[in-house]
Amino acid sequence: MSFYDQLKFDANGLIPAIVQEQKTGRVLMMAWMNRASLQKTLDTGKTHFWSRSRQKFWMKGESSGHVQVIKDIAFDCDGDTLLVQVEQTGAACHEGYQSCFFRSVQASISDPSFRITEERLESPEQIYGKK
């Protein structure tokens, strides 16, 4: 049975893909795939997504060189989320952090502020050049 038959794309034809660095277990980012970008991902061995804001395909690292090489693609019990294990080149986050999840909620519940939890590896200018 094809695993595509197990998947449920949403009303816009999209499925969320969690990207995890296989070596460290660090969750790097979450982005959306449609069926074509998932096929492209399988076909090339590098992550491809669908940008909801720009309404276009994008390959992770196409501008930055920070590509993600596929190690494993899992899907959940409901078939509506993907978990993609990768080997990440450079920082995953466009803001220069290893992970997009570089901020955490502080302990205070009444006024939950946040803190930055990791060091920035590069500035966006270093990654993408000045704009």
Residues that bind a second copy (CB under 8 A): 1-4, 6, 16, 18, 20, 24-27, 29-30, 42-43, 72-78, 81, 83, 93-95, 97, 100-106, 109, 111-114, 117
What HEC string does 56-110 produce? EEEECCCCCCCCEEEEEEEECCCCCCEEEEEEECCCCCCCCECCCCCEEECCCCC
**Based on CB atoms, which residue is closest to a second copy, 67 or 93?**
93
DSSP-derived secondary structure letter, 43: H
Q: How far is the CB of 93 from a second copy (least distance, A)?
A: 5
| Phi-psi map region of 80: left, alpha, beta (phi>0 left; psi -120 to 50 alpha) | alpha
Q: How far is the CB of 114 from a second copy (least distance, A)?
A: 4
**Based on CB atoms, which residue is closest to a second copy, 38 or 67?**
38
**Based on CB atoms, which residue is closest to a second copy, 57 or 79?**
79
Angle at 82 between CA 10 and CA 92, to 5 degrees: 115
Q: How far is the CB of 105 from a second copy (least distance, A)?
A: 4
**Based on CB atoms, which residue is closest to a second copy, 67 or 91?**
91
Structure tokens, 94: 């466009």
Q: How far is the CB of 121 from a second copy (least distance, A)?
A: 13
Give the rounded distance of the alpha carbon of 76 from its chain centre.
Answer: 16
